[in-house]
Each structure stands twice: as structure tokens, then as C-alpha cells.
Structure 1
Amino acid sequence: MGRRWRLLFTFSALLFFSWGFSLSTTHAQGGKKVIQLTGVVAAGDSLLGIPGASVYVPKAGRGTTTNEYGFFSLPVLAGDSVVISSLGFAKQSIIIPANFEKQSYSVIIEMLEDPTVLAEIKVFPYATFREFTQAVMAIKLPSQDVDQQTAMSSQILAQMYKNTPMDGNANHQNYMNLQNQQMLRRGGYNPGATNPLLNPVAWYQVIQAIKRGDFKKKE
């Protein structure tokens, strides 16, 4: 409520100022009368002023913006078309009557919200696409990663593997492997020995011995 009363008080003060403001009888643009346009730009019927709204006359190329309370004051000519715009609201326009006789004209502009989404704008530091392409082609990428990859040869990695001490997990795995080998040896199986049943040379020798009759019972 305090903001609304302050807004109404300021608007009343502007109206009083506009009525008390004495314009000369100077005429412009073919004898049209100069009129002081004052008013407030509000969001709908809430009477809450919209700061920074644009109020301008397109034909004359002049205008102003509203203050923090949504108020504005702009000299116009009789018959001018005034456009009011603000981001997030639909544009509105008013026409000053051509036969308006007073020296001031006061209005309250109720803006309606406009949910229109603005088109995306991409800002590049280059004026043309060709300049952008040339700048990209001129970039020298660092060769540090490539040098590191070439330096890590298989010989270096193998040497690093040999020199790297085992951690706790590796030591535990090595200990368990040794324990398994000892248990297998106790059971008569040598993990390091070659299985003769899988040796093709041994099978060849057995077959030749059978052909020669080495396994026949001698009388």
C-alpha cells in the first residue's frame, strides 16, 4: 500500500507540474502545437510502475524512458503517435488528438504481459565467418600430450613394471600362489614340470617302441 500511495502522490505532483508548466506559443512542423505529454506506465491494473520503459515518437525520432516509478515526461506535437514498449510486455501506442488545445496531456498506460520468447542471439568476436575460420585454422595446439605418448614406449613401460615395488594386494597374491605350489608338490604334482602326456615327442617315441616290439614279453 505504501508503494501505491507514493506512486499516486508522485503522479499527482507530475500532473500539477504539467498544468503549471507554461509553454510558449511556439509552433513547429507546419504550425502544430507543442504539448507536454506526461504519464505513468504500469503493469496491468496493479498500478505498479514499470521502470526503464521506452516512450518515443517514431516519426520524429525522439523519446524518453520511465523512471524507477514508471513516470515519464515528453514534449510531443498534436497528432503525434507515441509508442510505449518494455521487455516482457506487448507494445502499445497512443495518438495525441490533432485538435488538442491544452498545453499538457496526461495518461496512464496499462501494459499487458507478452510471453513471446526472443530469438537467440549468438555473439562472436569476429565480423565474418571467414575471419572466424581463419582464426581457428591459425590456432597452434600444444604438442605436450603427443610428446608424452611417444615417450611411453613398451621398453620404458616394461622397465617401470620391473622396478615398481609390489603393494599389499600384489604381495598377498604372490604369497597365495607360493602356498598353492607347495601344496601341489606335496601331492606329487610339480607345477613347473612338463606333462609327458601332452608331449608329442614322447608319444612318437612310445609308438616307435610299440612297432619295434619293445613291450613284448621276452621268452
Structure 2
Amino acid sequence: MKLFLRISLFCFIVLLAGSKATAQQTPNVYRDSVVQLYGVVMTADSLRAIPSASIIVEGKGRGTITNPDGVFSIAVLKGDRITFSCVGFKNRSIEIPLNLSENQYSVIQLLVSDTAYLPATILKPRPTREQFERDFVNNKVSDDAYEIARKNTDEAQRRILINSLPADGREAINYQLRQQANKYYYSGQLPPMNILNPAAWADFIKAWKRGDFKRKD
């Protein structure tokens, strides 16, 4: 029994020492795996710098872009896969070597132009001058800012919007507060009847002339 306890204690001490050694070595390993990647991105045909090219570390959600001279610099880890991309060029990817002896890695990345082929467009003239003039006159021109503002402030258009759009939260709470204020104002007495109010009759006549009471199909 004593021999078993001694062996168990010895194994526990060995495991504890090994875990401490691993914990002490982990920061050094992580520190040594960080690499400063820098370089320039250029075109493959004319060796011209590519500004605003994207340099993305795959699977890490990190990246950077090149400056106007095509130069970039970013901190990565050994074994990371780096993708170079830019509009009008094909993507290229590189992998940081795991056996890199230094903490700096420089590259000159060349990107090849990517040609995008669009479908063919056929331009046909009008058969006659009269048809061209007719189509030109009947062509609908988009409204400018002044015309849009005039339509938005039109009274008929505003009535249509009021009747079609639902009330938002601000209008609903204001209506509820007005109802409560009116109820508290006439608390303990009969509220007035608008059937004898000339102003209410005037509003009713204006609404009737506008057609607010017409049936909407």
C-alpha cells in the first residue's frame, strides 16, 4: 500500500512539473510564431504598383490594404494562408512557411489581370427620322429634385399618404395623450357636443367637399 502511494505521488509530481514547463514554453512558442509580413503588390505585365489591394488572412477575419505605392505590412502567424485580391485582377494566395527562421517575411506579389467578358450589345438605328422624333418626344424623363419636392407637397398627394399609411408610434402616443387630456379636462361634467359647434361644421363641410367621405373601392 505504501509502495502504491509513493508511486502515485511520484507520478503526480512528474505531471505537475511537465505542465509547468509547457506553460512556460507556450508564450515563447506563440511569440516566436508571429511574423511581420511586408512587401509590395504589382501588376504582372507592367510591374506597376496596385493601390488599395486587399491582403486577407484566411479564417482569421483580419487584413489590410496597400498604400498608393502598393506597399503593405501586416502581422501574421507561421502557417497562415494569405490571399491577395483586387478588382480587375485574379486572386493569389501564399502560405507563410512553418520553418521560417526569422520573424520577418517579405514578398513581391504579382497579380494577373482578370478579363470579364460581357454579353454582346447590338445597336440599331431608327428606321426613319419621323420614328426617331416620335420616340424622342414620347420618352419619359425622370423627375428632378424640384419636381419630386413639388409632388410630395401637393395637397392631394398628402391626403393619399395620410389615408394609406398607418400611424407610427409617435402619432399613436400623441393621439392617446390628447384623448386622456380631453377626458381629464371634462372630468365630472358632460363633454360639449360638436353638433352645435360652428368650427366643427366648417371642418365637416371642407372634408365633404374634398371627398374624404367617398367610398374607397
Q: State the TM-score bracket (shorter-chain normalisation).
A: 0.3 to 0.5
Higher helix share: 2
- TM-score computed with the length of structure 2 as normaliser: 0.40
Larger Rg: 1
